[in-house]
């Protein structure tokens, strides 16, 4: 399963991404397209409400949004878990998240 047209569920997307050793720009575009299509334009709105986010920030949020674990994201970005925790902490500050878990915040985030 490698075409975005074949992705029906989040599990399909996760399986495809987990099979990659690295994510190309084309893969990111496919992922963003799928999330926007199935989650009411989430990435489009995220870019609008948080214009200060880097592409890496958007990609991390996208992966957290579709239930990737910290370990899985670290592996995809080819970084140590401790480095990912620092990135996640910086992301939490950029978003002004006051709750304990930025992951829970992202999963429940609704943008209008």
The residue assigned the tokens 């994510």 is 23
Q: How do the pLDDT tens digits run along the chain, 112 residues long?
A: 455 557 888 888 888 888 888 888 998 999 999 999 988 899 999 999 899 999 999 999 999 999 999 999 999 999 999 999 999 999 999 988 888 888 888 888 887 7
Task: Specify the pLDDT at position 70.
Answer: 92
- Read off the pTM: 0.86
If you ran DSSP here, which 8-state letter would residue 4 be given?
G
**By the 8 A CB rule, do 7 and 1 touch?**
yes
Backbone angles phi, psi at 40, to 5 degrees: 55, 50
């Amino acid at each position: 399963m490698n075409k975005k047209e074949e992705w029906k569920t989040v599990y399909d997307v996760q399986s495809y991404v987990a099979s990659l050793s690295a994510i190309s720009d084309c893969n990111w575009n496919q992922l963003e397209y799928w999330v926007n299509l199935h989650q009411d334009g989430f990435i489009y709105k995220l870019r609008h409400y948080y214009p200060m986010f880097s592409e890496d920030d958007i990609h991390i949020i996208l992966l957290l949004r579709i239930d990737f674990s910290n370990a899985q994201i670290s592996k995809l970005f080819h970084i140590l878990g401790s480095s990912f925790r620092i990135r996640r902490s910086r992301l939490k500050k950029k978003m002004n998240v006051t709750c304990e878990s930025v992951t829970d915040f992202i999963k429940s985030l609704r943008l209008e």
